[in-house]
Amino acid sequence: MKIDLSGKSALITGGGRGIGREIAFKLASAGCDVAICDIDATTAEATAKDLEATGIKSIGIAANVADAASVEAMFKTFIEKFGKMDILVNNAGITRDGLVMRMKEEDWDAVLTVNLKSAFLCCREAARPMMKARSGTIISIASIVGLMGNAGQANYAAAKAGMIGLTKTLAKEFSSRNITVNAVAPGFIKTAMTDKLTDDDRAKLTNAIPLERLGYPDDIANAVLFLASPMASYITGHVLSVNGGLYM
């Protein structure tokens, strides 16, 4: 079955680069119209322009998903452009790594706000048009670290584990309106986020992964495309691990 999302509209947070950008092109390849939200206005605009060149409708929206007023304005712009919302992908995220004993409170707060509160704010806004339409799908990009923990990432692991709890709860709250809510938990994926790893750390990691490689953004985008498609219409509250077997 070929996945056809023509006539659908999606909003991807943090879509200006990395995994979010890859998800945007994957959904666009199925005919979906896609809005790119990013705190970096330049990459949001550039990605939207590249997406329009593929023949779909797109806009770049400069927004900070950690800020309620900014999120509200972003959804207003989105609905003005597309009229409805079919797919929300909560992808924006940051890391501020450090062992707990040395972690600054501001690094804890920043990671929890940008990675977790943002998903709450965006889901709350998306629920309005989706409930009205009695249809929609929300996909949040969590992490393997939210499932297994990781020394040096207490803030990030707590935020991603929180995102999984949020996903399961919203799956229950929104199910009567035919809205599905799922998460994808990537393992270690080749992006700017993992470019920070030392060569030694990367080699150790690769040895520990049963499929013997880091993931590509495309691996995550394929999982999101599946969850956003009618093929996944009976799946909700699920966390789909895409990690090369690193955590089972």
Residues in touch with ligand NAD (CB under 6 A):
13-14, 16-20, 37-40, 43, 63-66, 91-94, 114, 141, 143, 186, 188-189, 191-194
Among residues 156, 216, 234, 247, the one annotated as catalytic is: 156
Q: How far is the CB of 69 from ligand NAD (least distance, A)?
A: 13
Closest CB to ligand NAD among residues 116, 127: 116
Rounded distance, CA 193 to CA 74, Å? 25
Q: How far is the CB of 83 from ligand NAD (least distance, A)?
A: 23
Catalytic residue status for 234: no
Q: How far is the CB of 167 from ligand NAD (least distance, A)?
A: 13
Rounded distance, CA 246 to CA 76, Å? 40
Closest CB to ligand NAD among residues 134, 203: 203
Closest CB to ligand NAD among residues 179, 189: 189
Closest CB to ligand NAD among residues 48, 94: 94
Q: How far is the CB of 234 from ligand NAD (least distance, A)?
A: 25
Enzyme catalytic residues: 156
